[in-house]
């Protein structure tokens, strides 16, 4: 921080992986083209793409220039976009949250609304930054789950749950090969899967990592992700038992 550039990840994501997925969390630095995605695959069993205050650069999906003051992270884009596609193609479990969800859509050729609240027909999905964190991350709208989808199965067959909402961007055009797992009441896509994925692959627009143990769906998401990572470890190591996966 300050004068020295840093690669960081929030404690809430680490806790959700360690305690919720029961896996070992490791930070991958945003090295862009200096790191070939495939070089990592012999050492990891899953990938979590976290949220961020930065937005995907609009030139990545043919969007118009961002509003003044919009935060971007070119190094992250150069790292995560090729890494996510390569990982999914290689059968590595992927969980993508908020910005990660938006990255997933861009990776498969989709586009983004840069300010959902300005698009006619959509609600304002942003948090009130004046509120304390518990209020910001409290459930704020219903989520309609697609019948028969993976997310509905994780929700125990429920057709509707409630989730938090802390985002300004959203899916405009869905990427090729992506499937809708859930929508907000205004119709905005809030969860997606990848039709050809060989392993657990899920993108969610909300933040299930926040106090994950106190929410049934969040708990189920991280348990399923952790189980998929351990399956991947058994394949990677040829082991019949994998106590700890690496994410």
Give, for all 247 residues of the chain, the pLDDT tens digit: 568 888 899 999 999 999 999 999 999 999 888 878 888 899 999 999 999 999 999 999 999 999 999 999 999 999 999 999 999 999 999 999 999 999 999 999 999 999 999 999 999 999 999 999 999 999 999 999 999 999 999 999 999 999 999 999 999 999 999 999 999 999 999 999 999 999 999 999 999 999 999 999 999 999 999 999 999 999 988 875 555 667 7
What whole-number distance in Å separates Cα of residue 226 and Cα of residue 20?
8
- Which pTM does this prediction carry? 0.94
**In a domain? residue 148:** yes
What whole-number distance in Å separates Cα of residue 53 and Cα of residue 51?
7
Q: Which of 57, 103, 209, 229 is catalytic?
A: 209
- CATH number of domain containing 68: 3.40.50.880
Neighbours of 156 (CB within 10 A): 10
Does 7 qualify as catalytic in the annotation?
A: no
Structural domains in the chain (count): 1
Q: Which of 57, 98, 113, 127 is catalytic?
A: 98
**In a domain? residue 6:** no
Q: Which of 125, 207, 212, 229 is catalytic?
A: 207
What whole-number distance in Å separates Cα of residue 121 and Cα of residue 63?
20
**In a domain? residue 5:** no
**In a domain? residue 96:** yes
Partners of 144 in the β-ladder = 160, 183
Partners of 113 in the β-ladder = 170
Range of the domain at 68: 11-242
**In a domain? residue 229:** yes
pLDDT at 3: 82
Please tell me what DSSP assigns to residue 159: S
What whole-number distance in Å separates Cα of residue 228 and Cα of residue 190?
22
Bridging pattern class, strands 170-171 and 160-163: unpaired
Q: Where are the extended beta strands (E) located within 136-205?
A: 141-145, 160-163, 170-171, 178-183, 189-194, 201-204
Does 207 qualify as catalytic in the annotation?
A: yes
**In a domain? residue 2:** no
Does 212 qualify as catalytic in the annotation?
A: no
Partners of 141 in the β-ladder = 163
**In a domain? residue 247:** no
pLDDT at 135: 97
**In a domain? residue 53:** yes
Q: Pull the structure tokens for residue 27.
A: 């930070």
pLDDT at 242: 53
Length of the chain: 247
Partners of 49 in the β-ladder = 96
């Amino acid at each position: 921080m300050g004068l020295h550039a840093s690669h960081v990840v929030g404690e809430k994501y680490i806790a959700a992986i360690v305690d919720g997925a029961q896996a070992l969390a490791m930070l991958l630095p945003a090295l862009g083209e200096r790191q070939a995605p495939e070089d990592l695959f012999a050492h990891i069993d899953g990938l979590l793409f976290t949220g961020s205050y930065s937005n995907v650069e609009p030139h990545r999906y043919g969007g118009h220039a961002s509003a003044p003051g919009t935060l971007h992270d070119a190094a992250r884009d150069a790292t995560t976009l090729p890494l996510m596609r390569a990982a999914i193609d290689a059968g590595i479990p992927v969980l993508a949250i908020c910005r990660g969800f938006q990255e997933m859509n861009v990776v498969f050729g989709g586009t983004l609304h840069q300010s959902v609240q300005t698009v006619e027909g959509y609600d304002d999905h942003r948090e009130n930054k004046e509120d304390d964190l518990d209020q910001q991350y409290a459930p704020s709208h219903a989520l309609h789950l697609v019948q028969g989808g993976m997310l509905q199965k994780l929700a125990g067959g429920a057709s509707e749950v409630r989730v938090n909402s802390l985002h300004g961007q959203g899916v405009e055009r869905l990427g090729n090969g992506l499937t809708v797992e859930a929508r907000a009441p205004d119709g905005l896509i809030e969860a997606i899967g990848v039709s050809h994925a060989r392993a657990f692959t899920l993108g969610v627009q909300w933040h299930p990592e926040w106090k994950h143990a106190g929410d049934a769906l969040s708990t189920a998401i991280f348990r399923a992700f952790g189980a998929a990572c351990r399956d991947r470890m058994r394949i990677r190591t040829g082991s019949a038992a994998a106590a700890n996966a690496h994410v």
